[in-house]
Structure 1
Amino acid sequence: MTPPFHSRISGLAARTLQRLRSAVSGRLIDPRNYQPPLPLPGGLSRAQIHDALTAVSIDGSASGELFGYASSDLDRFLYTLAMVPEGAVGKALEIGANPYFNTLLLRQFRPELELTLVNYFGPGSAQGKQTVSFPGFKGVADAVTFQYDNVNIESAALPYPDDSFDYVVFCEVLEHMTHDPLRSMLELKRVLKQGGTMILTTPNAARLENISAFLEGRNMYDPFSAYGPYGRHNREYTRHELHMLMTHCGFEVEASFTGNVHPDIPLGQADASTLNRLIGQVRHREHDLGQYLFTRWANARVASEKLPNWLYRSYPAERMAEGQ
């Protein structure tokens, strides 16, 4: 079953009541009121999945940093899994697979997919492998060695023929691109079959916590990372921008929503009622305030290889798309 995320979010009456309550009580709009219920696969509880993923070890390392990541973003992994249809069959390419939380979920709950993995750990070997061990989703200890290709998709070709995959899973990678996201998208499109499906998630630049940060004079840009330029968010997207980029690349949307996966950064000096009123001045803006963009796309048309001018500048005119 594929949940119709883009249409069945919540009833109109419930949304109207929530807006009224927020206005009366002074509580800030809650993006969770406009996203679908958390999907739980295989009859498991959230706690069972949490305990499995937070105990992941890669090549025998202690969980440490992985524990915090798996715990804070667990809901994101579950929403991402639900974007891949149950019973999905064929070949799937996952970009940025490490630390393998999405990979483990796909392996367990979409077992008919043949997974090919890509990571980028800097120049060096073209291929690698990592062994992931964890308690398993049903209490049976599990260990699997994942092979991956080491490719920087902004600058290098993927080592696969055209039309190789039925699915591409491209989650929390787009925001890390440093200079040419269109090139990355076109390379993924090349290896995705006509009519194939791309699952794309990325942080929402226009999320509620960013709006409140600017209102209060706080910064919303990502800090510099000890992991280098690909360890930080170099360019985030709004929901509208992501749709423009994907349409430019010849994709048609199948599902799209914004969602919170952990509590928003609380307000400091801003007044919730005032912020609610400001947001309310833009029609349907309350639907676009979640922390992440969850989307699914069909590879439907030929892409434009010209650069959209809302995303690129200072390039020769002949490289730029007209009317964008």
Structure 2
Amino acid sequence: MTQPELTGDVFDAYMTTYGELAPEFLKQYVRDHRKRFLATLRALPPAGGPGARGLEIGTYGLFPVAMRQMLGYADADGVVYETKGDVPLVDHRRYPFDGEEYAYRTFDLDAERTRLPVADESYDLVVLAEVLEHFAADPYFCIREVNRILKPGGKFLITTPNVCSTEHIFRILTHDVPTWFYFYRKDLSNDRHNLEYSPKLLRQLVEHGGFTVNRLWTEVFWSGDRPEIDRLLDERGYSRDLRGDDMFVLCEKSGPAGPSFPDFLYF
């Protein structure tokens, strides 16, 4: 398969097609998150060679299709969360925005409790985009599992909201809730942000999980400028680094995962 040159126009065209052909329940979400999707597409590392395999945990198909169509991966799987039992279900899904109509293997399981039914060191890239903050019970289980299924040197990309953002400082100072999606659900679902991470906590989590951080940075997707907060940080001698509203961390597997239930995250 000939891969297109990865320019902004290619990603924009891909997002336009995705937005037009996404299921109805997703269309508004795609419009609201388009800027984040584009930034994540640009952050995905291309395949390092023939036969490379990728996986997205918490997928709507966007990134697995991009892995195959644009980034040179021979195969790309996905994980969804509709099943809460102990037995993972395996499906092969075709996505309406994928002109090749490729059948993507998809695992339906609880990523905080259930092992993926794949062999150790199966993948070259794992993506966890806007999922970590939703975990309610055992997020480190998922991190350990990613370590197990990645090849040595394999890449791990996480995106998640940044609780230390300029916007969140503003919210604290104005007596507001300093997180994005704290709302409880009328359907009694736990689909909310259970923990929004700081840059320090996110780094601790992945390093304890056996990963070396190649790059940790933030982006601004939902908030506006807060020059008064910037001035306050400067006046008080606090750093303005890593103050965007969303964090990205690109890691690589460098060793085994540390023990379960690390003290910095569990009691």
What TM-score do the two structures reach when normalised by structure 1? 0.71
Alignment-mate amino acid for residue 280 of structure 1: D
Alignment-mate amino acid for residue 149 of structure 2: V
Deviations, residues 152-173 of structure 1 (Å, cap 9, x unaligned): 1211111011111111111111
Name the CA distance, whole Å, in 1 between partners of 2:100 and 2:187: 29
Larger Rg over CA atoms? 1
Tell me which of 51, 73, 87 is aligned to 2:16: 51
1:117 corresponds in structure 2 to 78
Give the number of aligned pairs: 257
Name the CA distance, whole Å, in 2 between partners of 1:86 and 1:161: 22
The answer for unaligned runs of 5 or more in structure 2 is none
Name the CA distance, whole Å, in 2 between partners of 1:113 and 1:214: 46
Note closer, same or farther for the CA distance 1:200–1:148 as it changes in structure 2 (3 Å cut). Answer: same
Deviation of 1:239 after TM superposition, in Å, equals 0.9
Give SS of 1:118's match: strand
Alignment-mate amino acid for residue 207 of structure 1: S
Matches within 5 A, 1:258-277: 258-262=218-222, 264=223, 272-273=227-228, 275-277=229-231
Give SS of 1:54's match: helix
Name the CA distance, whole Å, in 2 between partners of 1:283 and 1:225: 40
The answer for unaligned runs of 5 or more in structure 1 is 1-39, 314-324
1:76 corresponds in structure 2 to 36
Deviates more, 1:107-116 or 1:155-164: 107-116
2:56 counterpart of 1:94:
yes
Percent of residue pairs bearing the same amino acid type: 26
Deviations, residues 45-92 of structure 1 (Å, cap 9, x unaligned): 66534421211234xxxx3x4222222222222222222223444111
Name the CA distance, whole Å, in 1 between partners of 2:237 and 2:102: 48
Is residue 70–residue 101 contact of structure 1 (8 Å, CA) maintained in 2? Answer: no
Name the CA distance, whole Å, in 2 between partners of 1:245 and 1:284: 24
1:103 corresponds in structure 2 to 64
2:248 counterpart of 1:294:
yes
Give SS of 1:72's match: helix
Is residue 133–residue 142 contact of structure 1 (8 Å, CA) maintained in 2? Answer: no
Give SS of 2:240's match: helix
Note closer, same or farther for the CA distance 1:147–1:219 as it changes in structure 2 (3 Å cut). Answer: same
2:148 corresponds in structure 1 to 190
Give the aligned CA root-mean-square deviation in angstroms: 2.6
Alignment-mate amino acid for residue 94 of structure 1: E
Alignment-mate amino acid for residue 122 of structure 1: T
Name the CA distance, whole Å, in 2 between partners of 1:128 and 1:165: 18
Name the CA distance, whole Å, in 2 between partners of 1:46 and 1:161: 32
Tell me which of 121, 124, 129 is aligned to 1:166: 124
2:211 counterpart of 1:251:
yes
Alignment-mate amino acid for residue 194 of structure 1: P
Tell me which of 127, 132, 140 is aligned to 2:95: 132
Note closer, same or farther for the CA distance 1:183–1:110 as it changes in structure 2 (3 Å cut). Answer: same
Tell me which of the two structures has the higher relative contact order, counting C-alpha pairs closer than 8 angstroms and 6 or more residues apart: 1
2:157 counterpart of 1:199:
yes
What TM-score do the two structures reach when normalised by structure 2? 0.85
Tell me which of 131, 150, 155 is aligned to 2:113: 155
